Amino acid sequence: MNTKWGNRESLKDVHNRVGKVSLLGDLSTAEENISHSDLKTEVRDLITDSRRVTPGSAFFAIPGQRTNGNNFLEEAISRGAKTIISTEDNHEIPSDVVSVKTENPRLALAKFAKRHHGQPDSFLNIVGVTGTNGKTTVTTLTRHLLERPGRPVGLIGTVRYHLGDREIPSFKTTPESSDIYPLLSSMLAAGCSEALMEVSSHGIHQSRVAGLEMEVAVFLNLSRDHLDYHGNMEKYFCEKRKIFNGQNGLLPKVAVINVDCPYGRRLMDELPPQVHILTFGESENSTFRARNISLNSDGAEFILDGPFGSTVVSSPLLGRYNVMNVLAAFSIVHALGIRVSDIIHKITGFEGVDGRMEAVDRGQGYNVVVDYAHTPDALRNALSMLRECTTGNLHLVFGCGGDRDRGKRLEMTKVACAGADKVWATADNPRTEPQVNIFNDMRKGISKSSKVYFMDDRRRAISMALDAASEGDCVLIAGKGHETFQEVQYTAIPFDDRVVAAELLSAKQLTI
């Protein structure tokens, strides 16, 4: 296997340096136009939330969508921050506090966090996986394929963070750089040599992964999402492209690309020649190709063509789009220098991903499935897959988030009406937006022949869909998947589709 240790310093040396790096020579080179007073101050921690500041910390005042870190300098200093990094000249900062001005505090944070935590990315084979849909499934499946006794594999993703010797709940798909590097250091300490990361477009744009050394960068697909943030598909694509073409700071050694996606084919044409490319898809010239695909209610079977020859693969993952996810995982394994033929058998033991096509069974005579599908493309894939293995009617419960891309709501509703027999439109993280406004946008996508019921209460909507189902039917509860809360007016209200569906099904069984 490819290893990155070589003749570099030992892990012990790395940990001895953590927390002992001064700002000198790092923030001063973070940007060409940075101004600074005295950069010789050593810092104990890197903080972006003033409430988490401890004595000796460096506080990075990050401008955000809701708040601006510059508004909390006084609180940070009162809690013991000895260095302030911000976009402003802070003339009222006490003389014993170092003030640094930079146009991009996030980029400065990424560069300093890497050194402050001993550059753990230099000692790990990091795989960055990006795409609109499938990141969680691909990273989780790849981790399953790579792990073996005594050789744990790290993972940073939407559902949880696996650190080698323990796992913790995820607090962000792609965390801030000040969190990424401690997580990677923990993986190293636990004996990991590989780390898989979901890399979101927000994370790229906000410099959370700027300068991160990736062995492999993976492009899964691109479809409409996050346009409220990026503005249009071109800008969305350009953000994803940054981790492949060096704009993020470093080039990956290998790029794994889905060539069935038009954006994937474009990406291939725009990569520097020194990046080695591996492709996957149903296309004839793919490095890893699936053909003769057979889909059923238990998963999929297909012929895999690869560098090692051809073999039959039986996957427990449902749907054609999951065949693509399996191909992506095999491509990553190959990119890391591991024989795919040696690990193919492990796929039969994969138990799936929380909230991704997760069945809820309480003895009812119809299927109930919870899935994270929250984009038009993901919802289309989920409905198409379930249609293929459902003998009766297909019922759908879904919603659209508030304070996000309004144009996606019409598209989501069109997909819902085209793919399901009955649809219950309901709340899905309305955030600060009135639900009636979200529903008004969704109604624009309704076709004349569709049966769509609008219901503010998500629990009630799920209950009505379950009441409408009969033997042989399927109920898809889409949009939230593994999430255990609803976002309403800056408040996280406990709500888990899987728990709610199970409770309702159990209650309905008692009344039969």
For residue 58, the domain's CATH number is 3.40.1390.10
Q: How far apart are CA 121 and CA 128, in angstroms?
A: 12
* 406 part of a folded domain: yes
Q: How far apart are CA 331 and CA 491, in angstroms?
A: 41
Are 140 and 186 contained in the same domain?
yes
* 4 part of a folded domain: no
Cα 316 versus chain centre, distance: 22
Amino acid (one-letter) located at 29: T
Amino acid (one-letter) located at 226: H
Are 144 and 91 contained in the same domain?
no
Are 396 and 252 contained in the same domain?
no
**H or E element at residue 466:** helix 458-468
- Residue 358, token pair as written in the block: 């997760």
Q: Is there a contact between 377 and 132 (Cβ–Cβ < 8 Å)?
A: yes
* 135 part of a folded domain: yes
Q: Is 476 helix (H, G, I), strand (E, B) or coil?
A: strand
> Among 283, 469, 476, 281, which Cα is nearest to 381's?
476
Are 338 and 371 contained in the same domain?
no
Are 418 and 398 contained in the same domain?
yes
Task: Give the residues of the chain that fall short of pLDDT 50.
Answer: 1, 5-12, 14-22, 24-26, 28-39
Domain boundary, last residue among 325, 349, 373: 349
Are 296 and 364 contained in the same domain?
no
* 309 part of a folded domain: yes
Per-residue model confidence as pLDDT tens digits over 164-189: 999 999 988 899 999 999 999 999 99
Both ends of the chain: CA-CA distance in Å? Answer: 58
* 11 part of a folded domain: no
Beta strands in 352-420 (DSSP E): 358-359, 367-371, 394-400
pLDDT, position 437: 97
pLDDT, position 512: 56
- Residue 159, token pair as written in the block: 């559902």
Are 69 and 149 contained in the same domain?
no
Are 409 and 326 contained in the same domain?
no
For residue 154, the domain's CATH number is 3.40.1190.10
Range of the structural domain that residue 338 is part of: 120-349
Are 272 and 130 contained in the same domain?
yes
Amino acid (one-letter) located at 61: A
For residue 396, the domain's CATH number is 3.90.190.20
147-158 burial, b for 16+ CB within 10 Å, e for fewer?
A: beeeebbbbbbb
pLDDT, position 3: 52
Residue 273: half-sphere exposure toward Cβ, Cα within 13 Å = 0
DSSP class of 120: G
Cα 434 versus chain centre, distance: 27
Quick one: three-class SS letters along 165-226? Answer: CCEEECCCCCCCHHHHHHHHHHHHHCCCCEEEEECCHHHHHCCCCCCCCCCEEEECCCCCCC
Q: How far apart are CA 286 and CA 305, in angstroms?
A: 9
Per-residue model confidence as pLDDT tens digits over 116-138: 999 999 999 999 999 999 999 99
* 14 part of a folded domain: no
Q: How far apart are CA 480 and CA 214, in angstroms?
A: 30
* Domain count within the chain: 3
Quick one: three-class SS letters along 14-80? Answer: HHHHCCCCECCCCHHHHCCCCEECCCCCECCEEECCHHHCCCCEEEECCECCCCEHHHHHHHHHHCC
Are 131 and 220 contained in the same domain?
yes
Q: Is there a contact between 416 and 428 (Cβ–Cβ < 8 Å)?
A: no
Domain boundary, last residue among 327, 349, 371: 349
> Among 278, 289, 469, which Cα is nearest to 365's?
469
* 319 part of a folded domain: yes
Are 289 and 417 contained in the same domain?
no
Are 49 and 99 contained in the same domain?
yes
